[in-house]
């Protein structure tokens, strides 16, 4: 298996988008936007695999989607900030529970270890479900928004426009 790394440039509605990309052919990619909004990222896995041409098309499309998500957050900042604040509070408690479970794994027998692995997986799943419940609560579209894009966007907006971090 070889990981390919390269820069990608594309135009989206007349705006130059740049990013760094990593691909594990032909199933997984990760893109990190460099311009205009440094740090926005997206990763994806394709169970059935894609051709390199299909993956490249998807990456260019995802850069445009990241740009649109940032713009949505910028224009409706207050609502997204409420979502982020509530999510961060919930996620902090969730991460503490996950860390407690991980600590218990050190002294667990095989049966308990499997049970703890299941528990940790369910906690992570619960976190994702809670994020999407909050998206619905705050009537946010698109539903494809991820916590990492939200966090990075809020940070960039606050740095650029609010002078707080």
Residues listed for the chain = 165
Collapsing DSSP to helix, strand or coil, 138 comes out as: coil
Report the share of the chain in percent with pLDDT over 70.
95
pTM here is 0.69
Identify whether the C-beta of residue 62 lies closer than 8 Å to the C-beta of residue 145. Answer: no
Q: Taking residues 50-60, report their average pLDDT.
A: 81
Collapsing DSSP to helix, strand or coil, 65 comes out as: helix
Residue 144 vs residue 83, higher pLDDT: 83
Residue 142 vs residue 42, higher pLDDT: 42
The mean-pLDDT minimum among 44-48, 82-86, 107-111 falls in 44-48
Residue 29 vs residue 49, higher pLDDT: 29
């Amino acid at each position: 298996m070889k990981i390919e790394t390269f820069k990608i440039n594309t135009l989206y509605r007349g705006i130059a988008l740049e990013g760094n990309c990593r691909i594990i052919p032909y199933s997984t990619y990760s893109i990190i936007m460099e311009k205009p909004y440094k740090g926005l990222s997206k990763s994806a896995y394709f169970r059935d695999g894609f051709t390199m041409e299909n993956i490249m098309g998807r990456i260019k499309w995802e850069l445009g989607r990241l740009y649109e998500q940032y713009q949505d957050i910028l224009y409706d900042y207050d609502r997204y900030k409420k979502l982020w604040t509530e999510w961060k509070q919930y996620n902090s408690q969730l991460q503490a529970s996950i860390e407690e479970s991980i600590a218990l794994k050190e002294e667990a027998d095989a049966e308990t270890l499997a049970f703890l692995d299941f528990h940790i997986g369910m906690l992570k799943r619960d976190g994702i479900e809670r994020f999407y419940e909050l998206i619905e609560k705050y009537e946010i579209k698109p539903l494809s928004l991820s916590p990492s894009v939200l966090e990075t966007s809020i940070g960039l907006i606050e740095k650029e426009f609010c002078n707080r971090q």
